[in-house]
Amino acid sequence: MHEQIALCQPNIIIGWNTLSYFEKDSDFLKKIGLPSGPRQSLGSVDYWFAGSKLFIDTYHPASFKIKQQQYVGDILQVVKINQNALNLDLPTGNL
């Protein structure tokens, strides 16, 4: 996953109930940066920023605990309310 993020340099990273693993990974945090604010919640998702990258943690699509329409809507809402804080420039080749 480290390599995928480094290669693609996404501004929004969605983890399907997996991002808690990366929060404990010191190599990942050195490359990406520490969260720049507290973890926040909106509906079925948790989210936070590390630098200008938005991390969204939500249920895995195969989960039956929540309807897909709800968590997709929550993801879209988080992106919408945080769009001004996102860096939408194209990747430069550096992480």
Instruction: State the pLDDT at residue 92.
Output: 67
Which residues 6+ apart lie within 8 Å of 53 measured at CB? 10, 11, 12, 13, 32, 33, 87
pLDDT in tens, 41-90: 999 999 988 878 899 988 877 778 888 889 899 999 999 999 998 877 77
Q: So where are the chain's domains? A: 8-85
* Residue 93 confidence (pLDDT): 59
* CB atoms closer than 10 angstroms to residue 70: 14
Rounded to two decimals, the pTM is 0.80
